[in-house]
C-alpha cells in the first residue's frame, strides 16, 4: 500500500511517467493520477506533469491530455512516479527525469517488474495499473474525470473485462466507477473497437496470410514496413491483431510482429493460459504478463518464429 497524499504533500514538482508507445492503460493511469492529485491539491501550488510519447488522438477526451509533455522537458522533480512501466528501458526519454528525482515511486502490475523506484507497488494479479491506482484513491477526491481515466485503463488492459485478470475486486472497482456520470459505452466503442478502413484492411490481410503450426497450437502473423507504408499506418494501428489471432480455435499461443527496421521485429505474444509468454519474452529482453507479453527481436520473420517456437515447445511438450 502507498499513501499517495503522504508521498506527495511536501512536493512542489511532481512527475508522472508512463512507458514508451503508451497503450490505453498507460494513458488512463497516468492521467487518472494527475487528475486525482490535482483534486487533492486544488488550492495549493503544485505542478503535476505527465510525460508520455504523444498518445493516440482517441484518448483526447481525457482530462490533462493536452497538457502531456511529450518533449520530456527536464525539471528537478521532488517526486516522480513510473506508472505501468515494467522495466527502466521502457521509460524511454523519461529515464533521466525518473532517476534524478528526489524520490521515485513505481506503481505497476507487470509480473516481470522487479521494482524500479525507492518505493514500489507492483500487483501482478491486478487487471491493470489503473486498477492498482484506484485502490489508492480516496472517494472524497474522486470525480468523473478521474473515473473516466481509470475506466479507460481497465477496459484496455482487460480486453473490455474479458481476460482472466479481471477479479472480483476489478469488477467492484468498475462498479463504483458507474456512480460517476460519463458515457461508458462510448469510451469502449470509440477507443477499443472502432477501426479505420485501413486498419481493418491490414487486420484482414494479416489474418489471411497468418500461419498455423505446431499442430494448430500456434499461430503467427506479421506486418512488414512496406505494407505499413502502403496503408500509411503506424504501430498504434496494429493493436488488436494479436487478439484476433489468439481466438483461433485450438491455438495456445498467438504471435504477432511488425517490422521496426530491416531484420528487427517488435513481437507481441498472447497465450490462452498453458504457456507463460512473459517468461519467453523475458528470455529475449522483453517482459509482460503470463498471457500477454512482448519483446524486440532480431533476424528475419522466420528466424524470430523459430526462436520463439523452440521456447513454446519447451513449455507445451516438456521432455519427461
Interface ranges with Mn ion (CB under 5 A)? 25, 84, 128-129, 157
How many CA atoms lie within 13 Å of 282's alpha carbon, on the beta-carbon side? 14
User: In sequence order, which residues have a C-beta less than 8 Å from that of residue 109 and are 6 or more positions away?
Assistant: 84, 122, 123, 124, 125, 126, 127, 128, 129, 131, 132, 157, 289
Give 25 or 311: the residue with its C-beta nearer to Mn ion. 25
- For residue 302, give the C-alpha cell: 522466420
Give 40 or 207: the residue with its C-beta nearer to ligand 5GP. 207
Q: Among 6-14, 183-191, 205-213, 287-295, which window interacts with ligand 5GP (CB under 6 A)?
A: 287-295
Contacts 24+ apart (CB under 8 A), 277-281: 277/253, 278/110, 278/111, 278/112, 279/311, 279/315, 280/308, 280/311, 280/312, 280/315, 281/112
Give 86 or 210: the residue with its C-beta nearer to Mn ion. 86
102-141 footprint of ligand 5GP as x/- string (CB under 6 A): --------x-x-----------------------------
Interacting residue with ligand 5GP among 286, 291, 304, 312 (CB under 6 A): 286
**CA-CA-CA-CA torsion for 295, 188, 195, 213, nearest 10 degrees?**
40
User: In sequence order, which residues have a C-beta less than 8 Å from that of residue 304 and are 6 or more positions away?
Assistant: 257, 265, 267, 297, 298
Interface positions, 27-86, toward ligand 5GP (CB under 6 A): 86
Number of residues binding to ligand 5GP, judged by CB under 6 A: 15
Interacting residue with ligand 5GP among 34, 148, 217, 289 (CB under 6 A): 289
287 touches ligand 5GP by CB under 6 A: yes
293 touches ligand 5GP by CB under 6 A: yes
Q: Among 145-153, 176-184, 201-209, 293-301, which window interacts with ligand 5GP (CB under 6 A)?
A: 293-301
Contact partner at residue 87 from Mn ion, ligand 5GP, none, CB < 5 to 8 Å by partner kind = ligand 5GP
Interacting residue with ligand 5GP among 268, 271, 309, 311 (CB under 6 A): 268
Across the beta sheet with 287-288, what order do the strands follow? 211-213, 218-223, 253-261, 264-271, 292-298, 287-288
Binding site for ligand 5GP (CB under 6 A): 86-87, 90, 110, 112, 268, 286-289, 292-296
Amino acid at each position: 500500500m502507498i499513501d499517495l497524499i503522504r508521498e506527495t504533500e511536501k512536493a512542489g514538482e511532481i512527475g508522472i511517467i508512463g512507458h514508451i508507445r503508451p497503450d490505453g492503460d498507460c494513458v488512463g493511469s497516468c492521467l487518472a493520477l494527475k487528475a486525482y492529485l490535482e483534486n487533492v491539491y486544488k488550492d495549493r501550488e503544485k505542478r503535476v506533469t505527465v510525460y508520455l510519447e504523444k498518445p493516440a488522438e482517441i484518448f483526447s477526451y481525457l482530462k490533462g491530455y493536452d497538457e502531456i509533455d511529450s518533449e520530456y522537458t527536464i525539471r528537478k522533480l521532488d517526486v516522480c512516479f513510473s506508472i505501468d512501466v515494467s522495466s527502466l528501458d521502457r521509460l524511454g526519454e523519461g529515464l533521466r527525469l525518473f532517476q534524478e528525482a528526489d524520490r521515485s515511486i513505481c506503481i505497476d502490475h507487470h509480473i516481470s517488474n522487479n521494482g524500479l523506484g525507492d518505493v514500489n507497488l507492483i500487483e501482478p494479479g491486478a487487471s491493470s495499473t489503473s486498477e492498482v491506482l484506484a485502490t489508492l484513491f480516496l472517494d472524497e477526491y474522486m470525480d468523473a474525470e478521474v473515473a473516466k481515466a481509470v475506466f479507460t485503463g481497465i477496459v484496455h488492459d482487460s480486453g473490455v473485462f474479458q481476460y482472466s485478470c479481471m477479479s472480483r475486486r476489478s469488477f467492484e472497482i468498475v462498479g463504483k466507477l458507474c456512480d460517476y456520470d460519463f458515457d461508458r459505452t462510448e469510451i469502449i466503442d470509440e477507443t477499443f473497437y472502432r477501426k479505420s478502413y485501413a486498419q481493418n484492411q491490414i487486420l484482414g490481410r494479416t489474418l489471411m496470410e497468418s500461419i498455423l503450426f505446431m499442430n494448430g497450437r500456434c499461430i503467427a502473423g506479421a506486418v512488414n514496413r512496406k505494407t505499413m507504408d502502403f496503408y500509411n499506418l503506424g504501430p498504434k494501428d496494429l493493436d488488436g491483431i494479436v487478439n484476433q489471432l489468439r481466438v483461433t480455435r485450438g491455438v495456445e499461443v498467438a504471435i504477432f510482429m511488425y517490422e521496426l527496421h530491416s531484420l528487427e521485429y517488435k513481437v507481441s505474444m498472447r497465450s490462452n493460459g498453458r504457456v507463460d509468454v512473459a517468461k519467453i519474452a523475458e528470455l529475449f529482453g522483453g517482459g509482460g504478463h503470463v498471457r500477454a507479453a512482448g519483446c524486440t527481436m532480431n533476424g528475419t520473420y522466420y528466424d524470430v518464429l523459430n526462436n520463439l517456437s523452440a521456447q513454446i515447445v519447451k513449455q507445451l511438450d516438456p521432455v519427461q
